[in-house]
């Protein structure tokens, strides 16, 4: 291991400077993750329950729902572009300032959604402005999660990288939980009161999260591994060209890994909510409550899965999460179609809490470990955001369309979930194990020699993971 990196990764909790920087990195990443997923969950739930009536009031309810989910998917068109742009900047100039820029762009666009006029006020310009805000939000979000993932993986102690890299993703659950909680309350209001303008308040409130995230991120220091690149004058002049010429196979592996995780997340967080309310006919607060319970479980299961990946390896844990969605696909959507509130909450909780989030907990360290130091940010961003288009962006629109053309049948969406899960489950057999990899290495994990693999640190015991000793 490089001496600079070794020094940074071997420091323990007794080093005040290291402990302070690790805490700052965790908080900086967590608040950004909370804002992104608060915005996206908020928008997804609003797409399912409100926007078809506010921005597409000229359409019939079924067509309006599809159109509403289409605007939800528009952000995923911009996400790869944002990932490519900001990922390149992050590998050339550093992680910190990219995370400052993305939080401003992403959060600002979400806040402005709450100020948009409706279709009844300005006609076609209302959905046009909504699409513009979604494009700006997606462009900023395209590098937000990649940046948080890379930053924490590079800051985290080597033997506990899976656990620490997963901690900021509690912010994902917190953001989703906050948005779901808002809609549980909104679902109890009379429709005319809700549509009169109350729905705007949660979007306008995004500005509070922006302020907190900016305060923390401006005090953050650059990641240790990027500092090593600067010291050794090894920063790539063209990270984008480098990642496609040297790391295309890992980008494709990352996309495959994300199909069930990202697609499953949006299918159960948004489409399932719309399905049980508009097609099955349950009360409108049931779906958001189910998402909230799943997010509560995720606040535990994400770091738990990260810790398990430190002990048993990234791939076995990831494969288990994919297997949960694979097994749940058909029986889960059939159970949702029955309309029993308790069963709906249970199915969505298992899907999100133990299927999606088990994969996410392992993924937080796995994706950064796949790529070499010179093009890690752009590599993770490219894999994450192109998969976000193929899985997350298309999933709610395609799912709503499948439900519409099948007359409200549950099995086409179940088939969709099953196919996404098969792709990810199969991909886990094509990805090298990366646990404990030296993140200062220039080459990708697939090029590690047998000696480099053998020199990786051994896993810590469960007892040491619970203790307060060295973080290494």
- Res 470: pLDDT: 37
The tally of domains found in the chain comes to 1
Q: How far apart are CA 246 and CA 304, in angstroms?
A: 33
Nearest to 232 by CA among 2, 10, 11: 2
The answer to whether residue 466 sits within a structural domain is no
Model pLDDT for residues 400-413, shown as the tens digit of each residue:
888 888 888 999 99
Q: How confident is the model at residue 248 (pLDDT cuts 50, 70, 90)?
A: very high
- Res 460: pLDDT: 64
417-421, 427-431, 436-440: which has the minimum mean pLDDT?
436-440
- 217-221 long-range contacts, Cβ below 8 Å, gap at least 24? 217/28, 217/32, 217/96, 217/99, 217/100, 217/103, 218/100, 219/24, 220/21, 220/24, 220/25, 220/28, 220/96, 220/99, 221/21, 221/24, 221/96
Q: How far apart are CA 236 and CA 249, in angstroms?
A: 19
| Higher-pLDDT residue of 111, 429 | 429
The answer to whether residue 335 sits within a structural domain is yes
290-294, 306-310, 312-316, 456-460: which has the minimum mean pLDDT?
456-460
The answer to whether residue 230 sits within a structural domain is no
Mean of the pLDDT values across residues 19-28?
77
DSSP string over 166-196: HGGGHHHHHHHHHHHHHHHHHTTS-HHHIII
The answer on pLDDT for 253 being more than 50 is yes
- Res 463: pLDDT: 52
**Do residues 353 and 298 lie in contact, with contact meaning Cβ atoms separated by under 8 Å?**
yes
DSSP string over 290-327: HHHHHHHHHHHHHHHHHHHHHHH-HHHHHHHHHHHHHH
Domain that holds residue 106: 15-220+236-461
Mean of the pLDDT values across residues 232-242?
84
| Higher-pLDDT residue of 21, 128 | 128
Nearest to 40 by CA among 69, 63, 83: 69
| Higher-pLDDT residue of 137, 379 | 379
Burial of 27 (0-12, 13-18, 19+ CB in 10 A): buried
**Structure letter (DSSP) for residue 233:** T
What's the whole-number average pLDDT of the chain?
A: 83
The answer to whether residue 226 sits within a structural domain is no
- Res 461: pLDDT: 58
The answer to whether residue 107 sits within a structural domain is yes
The answer to whether residue 392 sits within a structural domain is yes
Residue with tokens 């295309």: 248
Q: How far apart are CA 258 and CA 433, in angstroms?
A: 16
DSSP string over 340-369: -HHHHHHHHHHIIIIIIHHHHHHHHHHHHH
- Please report, for residues 65, 187, 330, the alpha-carbon distance to residue 281 in angstroms, rounded to integers and kept in the order given: 15, 14, 20
| Higher-pLDDT residue of 65, 417 | 417
- Please report, for residues 187, 264, 323, 329, the alpha-carbon distance to residue 396 in angstroms, rounded to integers and kept in the order given: 21, 10, 21, 15
Model pLDDT for residues 335-351, shown as the tens digit of each residue:
999 999 999 999 999 99
Nearest to 136 by CA among 176, 104, 93, 89: 104
The answer to whether residue 468 sits within a structural domain is no
What CATH number does the domain containing 272 carry?
Answer: 1.20.1250.20
367: Cα separation from own chain's centroid: 13
pTM over 0.85? The answer is: no
Q: How far apart are CA 113 and CA 245, in angstroms?
A: 39
Q: How far apart are CA 168 and CA 224, in angstroms?
A: 18
Q: How confident is the model at residue 462 (pLDDT cuts 50, 70, 90)?
A: low
Most confident of 267-281, 379-393, 410-424: 410-424
The answer to whether residue 21 sits within a structural domain is yes
Q: How far apart are CA 54 and CA 130, in angstroms?
A: 11
The answer on pLDDT for 384 being more than 50 is yes
The answer on pLDDT for 329 being more than 90 is yes
Q: How far apart are CA 251 and CA 244, in angstroms?
A: 8
Nearest to 276 by CA among 285, 287, 265, 268: 287
Q: How far apart are CA 218 and CA 206, in angstroms?
A: 18
Helix (H, G, I), strand (E, B), or coil: what is residue 20?
A: helix
- Res 139: pLDDT: 87
The angle that helices 16-49 and 286-312 make with each other, rounded to 10 degrees, is 150
């Amino acid at each position: 291991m490089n001496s600079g990196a070794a020094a940074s990764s071997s420091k323990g909790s007794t080093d005040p400077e290291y402990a302070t920087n690790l805490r700052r990195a965790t908080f900086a990443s967590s608040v950004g993750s909370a804002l992104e997923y608060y915005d996206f969950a908020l928008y997804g739930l609003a797409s399912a329950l409100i926007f078809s009536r506010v921005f597409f009031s000229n359409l019939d309810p079924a067509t309006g729902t599809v159109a509403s989910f289409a605007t939800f998917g528009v952000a995923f068109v911009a996400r790869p572009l944002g990932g490519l742009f900001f990922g390149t900047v992050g590998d050339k100039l550093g992680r910190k300032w990219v995370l400052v820029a993305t939080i401003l762009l992403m959060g600002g666009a979400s806040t402005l959604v709450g100020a948009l006029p409706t279709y009844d006020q300005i006609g076609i310009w209302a959905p046009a402005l909504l699409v513009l805000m979604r494009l700006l939000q997606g462009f900023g979000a395209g590098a937000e999660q990649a940046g948080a993932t890379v930053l924490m993986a590079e800051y985290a102690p080597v033997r506990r990288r899976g656990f620490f890299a997963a901690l900021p993703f509690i912010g994902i659950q917190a953001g989703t939980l906050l948005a779901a909680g808002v809609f549980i309350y909104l679902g109890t209001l009379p429709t005319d009161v809700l549509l009169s303008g109350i729905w705007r308040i949660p979007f306008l409130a995004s500005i509070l999260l922006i302020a907190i995230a900016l305060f923390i991120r401006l005090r953050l220091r650059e990641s240790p591994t990027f500092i090593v690149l600067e010291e050794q004058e090894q920063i790539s002049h063209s990270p984008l060209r480098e990642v496609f010429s040297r790391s295309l196979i890992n980008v494709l592996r990352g996309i495959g890994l994300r199909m069930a995780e990202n697609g499953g997340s949006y299918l159960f967080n948004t489409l399932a909510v719309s399905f049980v309310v508009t097609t099955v006919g349950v009360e409108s607060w049931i779906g958001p409550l189910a998402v909230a319970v799943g997010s509560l479980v995720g606040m535990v299961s994400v770091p738990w899965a990260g810790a398990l990946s430190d002990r048993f390896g990234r791939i076995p844990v990831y494969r288990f999460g994919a297997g949960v969605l694979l097994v749940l696909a058909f029986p889960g959507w059939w159970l949702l179609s029955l309309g029993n509130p308790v069963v709906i909450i249970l199915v969505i909780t298992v899907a999100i809490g133990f299927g999606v989030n088990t994969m996410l907990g392992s993924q937080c360290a796995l994706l950064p470990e796949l790529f070499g130091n010179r093009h890690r940010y752009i590599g993770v961003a490219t894999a994450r955001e192109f998969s976000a288009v193929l899985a997350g962006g298309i999933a709610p629109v395609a799912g709503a369309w499948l439900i519409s053309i099948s007359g409200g049948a549950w099995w086409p969406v179940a088939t969709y979930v099953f196919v996404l899960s098969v792709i990810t489950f199969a991909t886990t057999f094509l990805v090298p194990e990366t646990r404990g990899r030296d993140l200062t290495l220039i080459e990708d994990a697939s090029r590690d020699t047998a000696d480099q693999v053998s020199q990786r640190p051994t896993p810590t015991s469960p007892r040491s993971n619970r203790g307060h000793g060295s973080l290494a």
